[in-house]
Amino acid sequence: MKIKIFFLFLISCCVACKNNAGDENYIKQPVGMLKGGQYVVTNSEKIKQEWETALNKTSDNDKIKTFTIIKATTEGDIAESYYILIGTNASGTAKTAAMLYLDRDKFYFEKQQGSDALSYLTIVCEGKCDTGCNPIVKISGDSKFLVCSSCIDCIKTENELR
């Protein structure tokens, strides 16, 4: 009888203490992959949840409809290729973005510069512009920065996500 109670206790402890490693460590997991020359987003559910929380700091009840990984060239002191993940709302008026790096055909969030913490930066570019107000990367000195392309009506919001 004592053995049965011990095993029941052990099993209940295991169930109660079980971690969902995917939720806790989504920042370490691949965001997407390079497959046949195409960029494919593979880990969007947890990212969507986190990004919508950040987006709703400035927009009430806004939802991200699509995620896209793009490759572009930096502006500023040096022209380098970069990758970013962009989440766009249904109306196209808000775009949330984070820098990525490619490692063995898998994309990962680029760690925040100068930080030892497991975190990354996002920006939200929000505005009703015909052109502009898109997330881009600029280089100044040795540092890369997420910025919004020019538009009079564009508002930029930065968030550090962990």
Q: pLDDT value at position 139?
A: 94
Q: pLDDT value at position 38?
A: 97
Q: pLDDT value at position 2?
A: 53
Q: pLDDT value at position 8?
A: 43
Q: State the SS3 of 55-70.
A: HCCCCCCCCEEEEEEE
143: nearest Cα among 81, 83, 77: 77
The residue behind tokens 């195409």 is 38
Q: pLDDT value at position 135?
A: 97
Render each residue's pLDDT in the chain as its tens digit; 162 residues: 555 444 444 455 444 444 444 445 789 899 999 999 999 999 899 999 999 988 888 777 789 999 999 999 999 989 999 999 999 998 899 999 999 999 999 999 998 766 666 889 999 999 988 888 999 999 998 889 999 999 999 999 999 988
Burial class (CB in 10 A: 0-12, 13-18, 19+), 115: exposed
Question: To the nearest 5 percent, what fractions of the chain are helix, strand and coil?
Answer: 20, 45, 40
- Residue 107 and residue 31 in contact, taking contact as beta carbons nearer than 8 Å: yes
Report the distance separating Cα 141 and Cα 52, nearest Å.
32
Q: pLDDT value at position 133?
A: 93
Please tell me the pTM assigned to this model.
0.82
Q: pLDDT value at position 131?
A: 87
Q: pLDDT value at position 112?
A: 75
Helix (H) or strand (E) holding 11: helix 2-17
